[in-house]
Each structure stands twice: as structure tokens, then as C-alpha cells.
Amino acid sequence: MHSTLTEHARCLYGDEYRPTPECDREHREHYFVEELTFADAEEILAMLRELSPHLVDGQLPVWVRNLAYRLVLLQRPDDPELMREAAKSLWLHGPDWDGIATDLESRADALETG
């Protein structure tokens, strides 16, 4: 049984830095997505930072990273540092999301110059 979102993600997608733990639970991606959807910002950021500590690494699918950052930004809409972190992640997986990354950086700049 998973006690954290990070453990659930590690079981489902693996971990570049640690072995995937043995788990007696059946893994279905939609259960993870449900848990991610209702997780708080701290839980989501802990998962992102533990499983992808350098943004370019990790085994989380790109769509999971994008969704995770989107959900965190909905919970912290006025956090320029987080906007820039999300933008950096998007730049790595563009060009489909380059416009969104540019917008996030512009919003972060506007918040800081306020």
C-alpha cells in the first residue's frame, strides 16, 4: 500500500535513482491520476522534486509532470518561483508548450515587479 503520492508514482513509473519497491497492489494509472488530482501542493511538489530532482531526469511521463505543475499552480496562483519552475519543465518538452512557458514567465515577471 502506498502511503504517499511519491510512493504511488514510484511504484507505477519507477525511479531513476532508487529501485522500484515491491508492491502487492495492482497498479492502474487512473487511480494515481485520481490521487494526484486531489493532492495538495506540498504532496505534488514532493513527488516532482524527489522523482525528478533536476527537471530533465526522472521517469515520470511528460503528461504527468505537466498535469502536476498545472495542479500546483492552481493551488498557488501567485507564486512566481513556481511559475518559473513549471515553465522550465515545459521548455524541456516543447515546442508544443512554448507559448504556455512564455506566458508563465511573463506572469512571474509581472508578479515580481507588481
Among left, alpha and beta (phi > 0; psi -120 to 50; other), residue 59 is alpha
| pTM for this predicted structure | 0.92
Residues, the chain: 114
Q: What does the pLDDT read at residue 45?
A: 98
Number of structural domains (the chain) is 1
Domain, as residue range, for 66: 5-113
Amino acid at 105: E
The H or E element containing residue 108 is helix 98-113
8 Å CB contact between 90 and 97: yes
pLDDT value of position 35: 95
pLDDT bin (cut points 50, 70, 90) of residue 1 is low
pLDDT given for residue 107 in this prediction: 97
pLDDT value, residue 114: 78
Q: 48, 6 in Cβ contact below 8 A?
A: no
Q: Strand (E) positions, 23-114? A: none
Q: 7 near 32, Cβ under 8 Å?
A: no
Q: Where are the alpha helices (DSSP H) in 14-97?
A: 29-37, 41-51, 62-75, 80-92
